[in-house]
Structure 1
Amino acid sequence: MKKVAILQSNYIPWKGYFDMIAAVDEFILYDDMQYTRRDWRNRNQIKTPQGGQWLTVPVKAKGKFDQSIRQTEIDGDEWRDLHWKALSLNYRRARYFSEVVEFIEPLYQNSYRTISELNRAFIEALCVYLEITTKISNSWDYQLIEGKTERLSNLCQQAGATQYISGPSAKDYIDPNIFSDAGIALTWFNYEGYPEYPQLWGDFSHGVSILDLLFNCGKDSPNYMRFVKK
């Protein structure tokens, strides 16, 4: 049995994103999809004494309404220092800050051309730290056909999947019959029931970047997640 998940890349995603990666044998970054503004592709939240703060990577999107995520270029490099300063300022008191800094800080010293390139670099590095060994591939590694559900099902077939694990929000548009006709089991991932962990700055928040969990819990982070190391 081979399990596959297909999601757009996100910038420093929340813990549920990595649970999805860990739950499958192959995780396909679906960056052939249209880029959408004010979404998770180029931004995420961290915690601060004043509440949640967005860290947003500026991209060249003006007048490029039809461009895909993989075509979306990053606009300049100033954001790298700004994001790193925000992380340092708000998490330097966290228990595992100095440990996590060793692999996170170098990522902010690199230059990236597209948001897809940036996101994949961070996702892969975070998986290494969490000891998630799932294969990560790109949607453009495969042939793409028309139709929302048809394309997902066909990607699974090309990847040799027997089971497709989808985020619950996709229930609004996925046609389960297309997967069943292809002989692929369709499973909905459940993001509910996460335990709280030691967290800085006020009321607990589950929806922030996974960096919040790593800075506060280090290698104990999987204890507050769902995956079992492969």
Structure 2
Amino acid sequence: MKSVAIVQSNYIPWKGYFDLIASVDEFILYDDMQYTRRDWRNRNQIKTPQGVQWLTVPVQVKGRYEQKIRDTEIEKTADWARTHWRTLEQNYRRAAHFDEVAAWVAPLYCDAEYQHLSQLNRVFIEAVCGYMGIRTKISNSWDYQLADGKTERLADLCTQAGGTEYVSGPSAKDYIDETVFAERDIKLSWFDYSGYPEYPQLWGDFTHGVTVLDLLFNCGSEAVTYMKHFRS
């Protein structure tokens, strides 16, 4: 059995995203999809004393309504990276494991340059996986041939990757044709994001849907104990 998940890349995603990565054998970044504005592709949330705050990577979208995620470029003029890091530092420097995590997160912001959003997202995703000990193979959708049809493409990508089980987020139930996977003898499983335990968190009432960096700054290497489907 080989399990595969196929998901668009997100900017510093929440813990559930990494839980899904950890639960499969191969995770395909599906950035051949159209870029969507005001979505998780280029932004995520952190906790602050004033409540939840967005961190948004500025990207070039004017006149590019049908561009793919993989083709979406980051604005060259904006000093977003250092601004994001200063914001993280300001709001998480009191966290128990800030120094430990900052040692590898800060250079991703301050010592690197990124041209495309997909590149940025993958660098951060792989860095978080490395810290958490997630050894899942991560590949890009353009490493494979892309078939026509929404569900057909997903099933075909799974087959090309040698997968016998496709693990999908529950929101895809609205559009996935389950018979397409059944015809290819691929098991279709629905990932469960409910029931995560709370962890020590700064700034008021507990919030689940913030970036995974919140979990890491607060819990360090113990972060994996708050992941439901994590496997070493």
What amino acid is aligned across from residue 128 of structure 2 in structure 1? L
Q: TM-score, normalised by structure 1?
A: 0.99
Is residue 73 of structure 1 aligned with residue 73 of structure 2? Answer: yes
Q: CA deviation at 1:195?
A: 0.5
Find the aligned partners of 2:40 and 2:211 in 1 and give their Cα distance. Answer: 10
Per-residue CA distance 1:119-172 (angstroms, 9 max, x = gap): 000000000000000000000000001110000000001001000000000000
Q: CA deviation at 1:226?
A: 1.6
- Runs of at least 5 residues in structure 1 that lack an aligned partner in the other structure: none
Equivalent position to 2:205, from 200, 203, 206: 203
Equivalent position to 1:122, from 121, 124, 149: 124
**2:183 alignment partner in structure 1:** 181
Find the aligned partners of 2:106 and 2:189 in 1 and give their Cα distance. Answer: 36
**2:108 alignment partner in structure 1:** 107
Find the aligned partners of 2:166 and 2:130 in 1 and give their Cα distance. Answer: 23
Find the aligned partners of 1:228 and 1:184 in 2 and give their Cα distance. Answer: 23
Q: Give the number of equivalent residue pairs.
A: 230
Alignment of 1:13-24 (within 5 A): 13-24=13-24
Q: CA deviation at 1:227?
A: 3.2
**1:133 alignment partner in structure 2:** 135
- Runs of at least 5 residues in structure 2 that lack an aligned partner in the other structure: none
Alignment of 1:48-63 (within 5 A): 48-63=48-63
Find the aligned partners of 1:81 and 1:151 in 2 and give their Cα distance. Answer: 38
What amino acid is aligned across from residue 142 of structure 2 in structure 1? W
What amino acid is aligned across from residue 7 of structure 1 in structure 2? V
Secondary structure, counterpart of 2:120 in structure 1: helix
Find the aligned partners of 1:228 and 1:64 in 2 and give their Cα distance. Answer: 38
Find the aligned partners of 2:95 and 2:231 in 1 and give their Cα distance. Answer: 25
Secondary structure, counterpart of 1:218 in structure 2: helix
Q: Indicate conservation of the 8 Å contact 1:44/1:54, yes or no.
A: yes
Equivalent position to 1:218, from 217, 220, 231: 220
Secondary structure, counterpart of 2:45 in structure 1: strand
Find the aligned partners of 2:200 and 2:19 in 1 and give their Cα distance. Answer: 19
Q: In angstroms, what is the RMSD of aligned CA positions?
A: 0.7
Secondary structure, counterpart of 2:36 in structure 1: coil
Secondary structure, counterpart of 1:128 in structure 2: helix
Secondary structure, counterpart of 2:71 in structure 1: coil
**1:166 alignment partner in structure 2:** 168
**1:83 alignment partner in structure 2:** 84
What amino acid is aligned across from residue 61 of structure 1 in structure 2? V
What amino acid is aligned across from residue 127 of structure 2 in structure 1? A
Find the aligned partners of 1:8 and 1:229 in 2 and give their Cα distance. Answer: 22
Secondary structure, counterpart of 1:70 in structure 2: helix
Q: TM-score, normalised by structure 2?
A: 0.98
**1:46 alignment partner in structure 2:** 46
Find the aligned partners of 1:201 and 1:154 in 2 and give their Cα distance. Answer: 45
What amino acid is aligned across from residue 23 of structure 1 in structure 2? S
Q: CA deviation at 1:215?
A: 0.3
What amino acid is aligned across from residue 33 of structure 2 in structure 1? M
Find the aligned partners of 2:197 and 2:56 in 1 and give their Cα distance. Answer: 27
Find the aligned partners of 2:19 and 2:39 in 1 and give their Cα distance. Answer: 20
